[in-house]
Amino acid sequence: MSRRLISTSPTPGPQGDSERPPKRPRIDHLTPDSFRNGIFLAPMVRSGALPTRLMALKHGATLVWGPEMVDKAILHAEREVDPVTGVISYNGKTRAMFTTHPLEKPYLIYQIGSADPELAVQAAKTVMQDISGVDLNCGCPKPFSTHAGMGAALLTNPDLLCGILEALRRELPREISVSAKIRLLSTQEETKKLVERIARTGVNAITVHCRTRNMRPRERALVERLKEIVEFVQGLGLDVAIIQNGDCTGREDAKRIRDLTGADSVMIATAAESNPSCFSAIPLRDVESTLSPSYLRLCKYLDNHWASTKFCVTQFKGVRSEVSKMDAHELKSRIAKAKGYESLDDIVGSWTGEEEFKEISRIVEARQPRISAEAEQEEVSEEEDIPPPCATPPDRPNPEPPKSGAPKMGLRMPMPAILTGSNMVSPTPTPGGLR
């Protein structure tokens, strides 16, 4: 192994440590590894609002998906930044269509509903300064999505589906990840064939909702079908993460699902809609008193639209130990009837939404920065190539140099003037000296 040459001994620092070359800076964008060993917030049209995404990050979500946005809808939006809170809004004619915050950018995947490669690229470029990845919705079975050839309709049009993904990967910067979210097809062979085509478009990840297009949420997800698909993708030798979606209830359940399927990560929807703290090893109990008030304070501070806030809070539910069923029902009823934040003072107490946001910021910013596997290996190699510092300890005098028997500098004989061209006693040059 090669060694770097060091010209001088480093100077010991205050604790006897010497300066070392700075490590390679860690990356702040997504890589294929970012989609592995994680637990993600799923895209949800109404419930995936900015406050919910921030709460999910606070409680341990690795990445968060924004709600699906139809490509054309965002193209004419006006981007506006709140100078106080930093919230970024993409505003339509009457209200914000999509809101985000720089705090979530390193973890935010923007989901697009599209049936047109060119429009999908335009939509992605409109928001790419505020996101880390783009996901194509290929699984939504709702008529508002499928009637225009988007969502689950793409499952029966793989040429168009892959054409959109290829356009996104080709036209977007490499630091913007590209992924797709699909559903199971009727047979394993059909599903594997589609997954292979998607994997070869250059995507970073594929999320598989373990239900078919015609299955409803109340029907059990076919989680057991995913293992064969995961093994199939691994056999292709492609660097594509497979994410499981469907019926996961929380962090502990995600471990069970990964063990069962071999999936790289797990995505949570319904359980996160009910309790955004489900990503934590210890989810909040009595959400009516432990989650709803702080969520309302955060929403008011971020100027989240009241209709969105009301919908999200009324979906909260979970294990109760101190709040009675009657009290929980009364709270939801009051929020559902409220016309705005002002009528809920006795529920939230002080409107300290800024403090709620600062607490979330502190937790999210304390996360370890991401680093790619390649960069991490380079760091290890560089550290191995650097020899240990060779400084003399501060409490020990410099050692005497080894004696070689050579004459000391002060006793060296003067050179003859015939060679130097000068008189060694006088600096006057000797006439006829060597030219």
DSSP state of 294: H
How large a percentage of the chain has pLDDT more than 90?
73
Assess contact for 61 and 40: CB atoms under 8 A: yes
Cα gap 410→272, rounded to integer Å: 83
- pLDDT at residue 395, rounded to an integer: 59
Cα gap 152→141, rounded to integer Å: 5
The residues, ordered by sequence, that sit 6+ positions from 315 with a Cβ below 8 Å of its Cβ are 47, 273, 274
Look at phi and psi of residue 265 and say left if phi exceeds 0, alpha if psi is from -120 to 50, else beta.
beta
Strand order in the sheet with 88-91: 78-81, 88-91, 96-100
Cα gap 192→208, rounded to integer Å: 11
Residue 30, CA distances (Å) to 176, 221, 284 in order? 7, 28, 29
- pLDDT at residue 388, rounded to an integer: 52
Q: Is residue 17 over pLDDT 50?
A: no
Measured N-to-C along each axis, helices 117-127 and 158-171 cross at an angle, to the nearest 10 degrees, of 40
How large a percentage of the chain has pLDDT more than 70?
78
pLDDT, mean of residues 123-147: 95
Active site residue 140: yes
DSSP conformation letters of 232-264 = HHHHHT---EEEEESS--SHHHHHHHHHHH--S
Q: Is residue 230 over pLDDT 80?
A: yes
Cα gap 288→169, rounded to integer Å: 43
Q: Which tokens go with 295?
A: 């969520």
- pLDDT at residue 369, rounded to an integer: 72
- pLDDT at residue 386, rounded to an integer: 52
Q: pLDDT grade, residue 362 (50/70/90)?
A: very high
User: Of the residues 140, 248, 278, 299, which is catalytic?
Assistant: 140
Instruction: List, for residues 323-338, the tens digit of each pLDDT value.
Output: 999 999 999 999 999 9
Q: Which residues of 30-47 are buried (b: 16+ CB within 10 A; e: fewer)?
A: bbbbbbbebbbbbbbbeb
Residue holding tokens 């709040």?
323
Element (H, E) at 376: helix 373-385
By DSSP bridging, strand 133-137 and strand 177-184 are parallel
pLDDT, mean of residues 122-129: 98
pLDDT, mean of residues 186-203: 98
DSSP state of 88: E
Instruction: List, for residues 386-419, the tens digit of each pLDDT value.
Output: 555 555 555 555 555 545 454 444 444 444 443 3
Q: Is 164 exposed, middle or buried (0-12, 13-18, 19+ CB in 10 A)?
A: buried
Cα gap 263→245, rounded to integer Å: 10
Assess contact for 242 and 203: CB atoms under 8 A: no
Q: Which tokens go with 76?
A: 């004419």
Instruction: List, for residues 275-312, the tens digit of each pLDDT value.
Output: 999 999 999 999 999 999 999 999 999 999 999 999 99
CA atoms within 13 A on the CB side of 158: 14
Q: pLDDT grade, residue 32 (50/70/90)?
A: confident
CB atoms within 10 A of CB 235: 9
Measured N-to-C along each axis, helices 251-261 and 226-236 cross at an angle, to the nearest 10 degrees, of 60
Kindly report the pTM of this predicted structure.
0.80
